[in-house]
Structure 1
């Protein structure tokens, strides 16, 4: 069982009771998932505990917020991505996926202000496609470097992939690792979705 930590003084503590009600100890008031969602958007750090057991249930509550947002029609997660993500549960690369996704989102967030400026530029009929494409290439390179840093296994697989490509040129059969291909496909899907969003904005 996970209990409260000493660093909770720097975070808002939310208690969840058996009746599923959420209580904000900082404001001494009951809140909803919508309130917690807004707190996330406002960069307000919080932790959620089961009022009875003291267990940290922040992860399932955040997951529930995502489910609620998706049900409202604000779909951010493509079906293909969800299928791939589910497929990694129990996979040998399961331990790598959280760090990979976290780094990918950090990189995306790092450039979000620049992306917003680009999007605003489309409203004025001006869009610096060259700069945006270059930023995407930099992100892709960062993702690949991150993957290599996370595990020596990935570096070995990358070497195998290069060897396979070379073998294919020489007419020799080569085997591809399905898990690594899935990671690459996931990254390509994210990139395609971002490019699609940009193209839609630019065409308006």
Structure 2
């Protein structure tokens, strides 16, 4: 697992690549499914959640069209923290999000297959398959006659 150290000056240092990184660099690691841990440079305290939340905040502010957390949703999340026995919201959100991502990948794959198999593409593949069949058939010696010759008894015996 890649270790990122956060220094007092708020800079993030990637110990694997020996260079300073930005929140955008860490966002790319997340997209590439590269595991990492952010720790305080002095104490070693795990700061990963705080950094992940910072990445989400940055994304929410950068693109208002792709806003995931509405004001109402954020208010509801704050209310969950105030409940006497909080809901297992984390597990529910993780599983729901994972399911949504898997379904999105499956849908994208199905679209790729559907686009690949347009009627014209299907006809082209069908024609190529037929062409290969006939080329193979016409280039082979007459198989049945050879078999018939082998089945007839040798007259010289």
Identify unmatched segments of 5+ residues in structure 2: 116-157
Give the corresponding residue for 1:54. Answer: 44
TM-score under structure 1 length normalisation: 0.51
Root mean square deviation of aligned Cα:
2.5
Gaps (5+ residues) in structure 1?
A: 1-10, 124-204
104 and 92 in structure 1: CA distance in 2 versus 1, 3 angstrom threshold: farther
* Higher relative contact order structure (alpha carbons within 8 Å, sequence separation ≥ 6): 1
Distance 1:40 1:47 in 2: 11
Report the secondary structure of 1:88's partner residue.
helix
Q: TM-score, normalised by structure 2?
A: 0.65
How many residues align structurally? Answer: 115
| Counterparts of 1:24 and 1:91, CA distance in 2 | 38
The answer to whether 1:97 aligns with 2:92 is no
What's the secondary structure of 2:81's corresponding residue? coil
Question: What is the deviation of 1:117?
Answer: 4.8
Pick the aligned partner of 1:112 from 91, 96, 104: 104
Question: 8 Å contact 2:39–2:48 — kept in the other structure?
Answer: yes
Describe the superposition over 1:140-195 as per-residue Cα deviations: whole angstroms up to 9, x where unpaired.
xxxxxxxxxxxxxxxxxxxxxxxxxxxxxxxxxxxxxxxxxxxxxxxxxxxxxxxx
User: Aligned residue for 1:33?
Assistant: 23
**Structure of larger gyration radius:** 2
Runs of 4 or more, structure 1, over 4 Å off, are 117-121
Post-superposition offset of 1:12:
0.4
